[in-house]
Amino acid sequence: MLTNNLQVVQDKIRMALQKRKNKKITGSDVTLVAVTKNHPPEVIEAALALGIKDIGENRVQEAKHKKEVLPTGGCWHLIGHLQSNKVRHAVGMFDIIESVDSLHLLAEIDKEAGRIGKVQEILLQLNIADEKQKFGFSKNEYLKALTKLDDYRYLRIRGIMVIAHQCDDIEETRPVFASGYRIYCDLKAARQEIDILSMGMSGDYTVAVEEGANTVRVGTALFGQRDYNLKF
Ligand SMILES: *Cc1c(COP(=O)(O)O)cnc(C)c1O
């Protein structure tokens, strides 16, 4: 099933790239982050065996458990909200933290990375539609965060992460992704080293790629429904 699903997702990404209206500065290589949250560790092994390199998990504790039972390998992305008291574990474990969503967290991650002698790669998560119940920087907070970045020696910002709201019609997500792309372009103009625009999940990754995403985070379309009874 996974082999087949992977083929389908990769084909749809290719088609979305062909449908892109204009050339995008994000390039035409799309990194597929396989989101394995609420699936057992074997699922990660199977994904790695098929050549998937990027693994997305949303909970520190769950990822820790999986990393303990799996052989090393893969590039691990934290995609869920990070609580301050989990920063220590997260910095030790994740290659990239996509879900940095507050000034406080920037400072905490920098401190911990410095302590263990690591440069932590991060994305800033944006709350573009400014939805109250969602994590992510508002536009103003984001601009403020950018002015602080150079104070942190142990952080390396690689770009931004955007989550669209759930909607019945995926076309409704297009303006959100288009605005994510514009913000990315501005950021890239200021900092050339920026190279990741992470947008799109199972329900909307095709639209995200059309609008310029070069990283998508896909779970259900690869692995089927999650099992929320699994305990880690
Ligand atoms: C769970 C999750 C995904 C994957 O969701 P699917 O709909 O299963 O593809 C992507 N991004 C984030 C931030 C998530 O929490």
Distance 74 CA to ligand 1 centre (A): 18
Distance 163 CA to ligand 1 centre (A): 9
Ligand 1 contacts CB of residue 9 (under 6 A): no
Ligand 1 contacts CB of residue 202 (under 6 A): yes
CB contact burial 189-215 (16+ within 10 A = b; e otherwise): eeeeebbbbbbbbeebbbbbbbbbbbb
Ligand 1 contacts CB of residue 35 (under 6 A): yes
Contact call for residues 163 and 180 (beta carbons, < 8 A): no
Q: Residue 64: phi, psi to the nearest 5?
A: -60, -45
pLDDT(47) > 80: yes
Residue 84 is predicted with a pLDDT of: 97
Ligand 1 contacts CB of residue 201 (under 6 A): yes
In this predicted model, what pLDDT tens digit does every residue of 81-107 receive, in sequence order? 999 999 999 999 999 999 999 999 999
| 229: β partners | none
Residue 20 is predicted with a pLDDT of: 93
pLDDT(133) > 90: no
Q: 115: pLDDT confidence band, cut at 50, 70 and 90? A: very high
Ligand 1 contacts CB of residue 80 (under 6 A): yes
Which atom from ligand 1 is nearest to the alpha carbon of 220? 8
Residue 130 is predicted with a pLDDT of: 76
Across 70-74, 105-109, 187-191, 214-218, least confident range: 70-74
Q: How far apart are CA 220 and CA 68, in angstroms?
A: 24
In this predicted model, what pLDDT tens digit does every residue of 159-193 receive, in sequence order? 999 999 888 899 999 999 999 999 999 999 999 99
pLDDT(131) > 90: no
Residue 165 is predicted with a pLDDT of: 87
pLDDT above 90: percentage of residues in the chain: 92
Distance 78 CA to ligand 1 centre (A): 11
Ligand 1 contacts CB of residue 79 (under 6 A): yes
